[in-house]
Amino acid sequence: MIRDLHEKLINQEITSEKLTEEYFAKIEKKDPEIGAYLSLNKEFALDKARAADKKIKNGEEVDLLAGIPCAIKDNICIEGLPATAGSKILGNFVSPYDASVISKLKENNSVFLGKTNLDEFAMGSSTENSAYQVTKNPHDTTRVPGGSSGGSAAAVAADECVWALGSDTGGSIRQPASFCGVVGLKPTYGLVSRYGLIAMASSFDQIGPIAKTVEDAAIILTRVAGCDRKDVTTMLAGGRSAFGGKSAGTIYEDRLTGDVDSIKIGVPKEYFAEGGLDKSVKSLVEKAIKKYEKLGAEIVGISLPSGEYALATYYIIMPSEVSSNLARFDGIRYGQSIEKEIEIDENMILRDIYFKSRAKYLGKEVKRRIMLGTYALSAGYYDQYYLKAQKVRALIKKEFEQIFKKVDLILGPTAPTPAFKIGEKTENPLEMYLSDIYTVTANIAGVPAISIPCGNVKIEGKELPVGLQLAGKWFREKELLSTAYAFEKS
């Protein structure tokens, strides 16, 4: 998709300005029903498109992403544009700077159409927790697109952009990619800078691409990956720190051989145990395993015994980090304040403004996670909950290290079900959290993982996509993408 459009731009069969206008026309037609975008940047985008066209016309060499229209999740900062993170508390916030990934994309002359909807502060699995609107699944508008990057996934699936950026804390790129039938990649923790990403849980958060093809995801990753002095957790592609030296880029799209003859793929028995996995999803994933066998991959049965504790571990550590990260949004240091809307009397103290501002402008799910995290970190419970969860996290990571001595990749479903109905799980947070059961382990261990479409199931007359997840070794995105590409092309 990206490469084809690039060739047309270079050959001047189309212009970026015309292409960008076409996508805005699609958004105008489709988005009132889908609700993928929170804000559009028409003049900003057209200026970028004209700049790309000028370079091409002048015969200058341009990047593959130059002039290609994309969408950005609204928790990633672009200078001069809104960054709400899907929350009312940031309803009037305009970013004064670019996220590092945006700076990289601007260097490549990318065209930003707008900012996409998300669950508030990326907290959710359905994009129903946005303070502004509910995004709908393009395949069935009575169903969710997944979350929290539901707006980005829906925009790509509805062809309202060529590609998009999302963020993944516990599956927030991969699960909506699965529900919307697109490709979603969570890179290794530390491969892509988090500078300029509005933090949810800092030890899990990772920015990654959502695209129509594996090759497109690889092209995007090449442009956004790399060491960044503004994020000390970032590393080079090989897992080495680049501080003190020049960051050498890796071109991921050049390694898509599609050859899996020497690849060992592990299939955890726990992923297919009786219980929460939908039978239709199980059937499609089992067909995908057989396809990999035919392609020449060696399928190895493995066990992830500590995986059963992954969701509980994640939902202790993540809210604890949320509690810390969101403390700044109090209406005084950051965010909207209730101060101008109430009568302040002499008995009122600063804490009252904090409490009233947060009570009004933060949503139910955000408050729930702040309270859970504050409780887990409180005196008397820190050792019992948070410290124990960190020990389990270390155990899960060690388990992955041992498994990756035997296999190259781990295969399983991305989500336990196809996209569920809007409103189906909003009253039961625990049921909603189970949507992340297959994705959170990759965030806990910090490994890269990708969701690719592996088929559709027909429900109520609608074809609903199902995603297949592959998780790889740390900083081995080339192997992960090439294996995903082999399935896509078969």
The answer to whether 9 and 56 have CB atoms below 8 angstroms apart is yes
Nearest to 176 by CA among 465, 485, 410, 477: 465
Of 16, 87, 126, 148, which one is the catalytic site residue? 148
Of 100, 130, 172, 306, which one is the catalytic site residue? 172
Whether 148 is catalytic: yes
Of 73, 115, 186, 212, which one is the catalytic site residue? 73
Torsion of CA 173, 178, 184, 188, to 10 degrees: 70
Torsion of CA 478, 484, 488, 490, to 10 degrees: 90
* Cis amide prior to 241 (ω within 30 degrees): no
Helix (H) or strand (E) holding 451: strand 449-459
d(CA 134, CA 323): 25
Residue position matching structure tokens 């804000």: 39
Tell me the backbone φ, ψ of residue 176, rounded to 5 degrees.
Answer: -65, -30
Cβ neighbours, 10 Å, residue 194: 23
The three-state secondary structure class of 241 is coil
The three-state secondary structure class of 105 is helix
d(CA 289, CA 295): 10
Cβ neighbours, 10 Å, residue 246: 8
d(CA 103, CA 193): 11
The answer to whether 184 and 450 have CB atoms below 8 angstroms apart is yes
Contacts of residue 244, Cβ cutoff 8 Å, sequence gap at least 6: none
What is the DSSP code string of 185-219?
EEPPTTTB--TTB--S-TTT--EEEEESSHHHHHH
Q: Return the active site residues.
A: 73, 148, 172
